[in-house]
């Protein structure tokens, strides 16, 4: 069972209250992009067996979207953060590194 905390309303709840939105920090392809670039944006995913940065929707709560850093192996949640952030904040990165010293955020 996955436990998440919404960074907006502060509710801490089980996964049934949220809805997963997939891999985060994908930069949208603009008009004039190549087919390969658009296919990569649209379909290709890192799908890491490790730390995943992803989007979540507080569907049965305040309705806000937010970001989470989570282990896809142990389901440990390292933290949740603003949907407007383009990368995880320093304190979450530190928390991940404390557990997984080798980890690097890959684009």
Q: 5 CB contacts (<8 Å, ≥6 apart)? A: 11, 12, 13, 77, 80
Nearest to another protein of 16, 82 (CB atom): 16
Is residue 15 at the binding interface for another protein, with CB under 8 A as the rule? yes
- Which of 73, 82, 99, 105 contacts another protein by CB under 8 A? 73
Dist CA 16 CA 28 (whole Å) = 28
Rounded to 5°, the CA angle 76-80-84 comes to 145
Instruction: Map residues 26-55 to x or -, x wherever contact with another protein holds by CB under 8 A.
Output: ---------xx--xx-xxxxxxxx--x-x-
* Residue from 3, 9, 12, 16 in contact with another protein (CB under 8 A): 16
Per-residue tokens: 62: 């305040």
Q: Is 1 in the site for another protein (CB under 8 A)?
A: yes
């Amino acid at each position: 069972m996955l436990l998440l905390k919404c960074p907006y309303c502060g509710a801490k709840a089980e996964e049934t209250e949220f809805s997963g939105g997939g891999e985060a920090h994908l930069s949208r392809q603009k008009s004039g992009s190549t087919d390969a670039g658009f296919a990569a944006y649209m379909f290709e995913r890192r799908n890491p067996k490790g730390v995943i940065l992803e989007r979540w929707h507080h569907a049965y709560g305040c309705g806000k979207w937010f970001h989470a850093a989570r282990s896809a192996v142990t389901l440990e949640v390292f933290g949740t953060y603003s949907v407007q952030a383009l990368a995880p904040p320093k304190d979450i990165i530190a928390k991940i590194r404390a557990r997984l010293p080798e980890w690097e955020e890959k684009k």
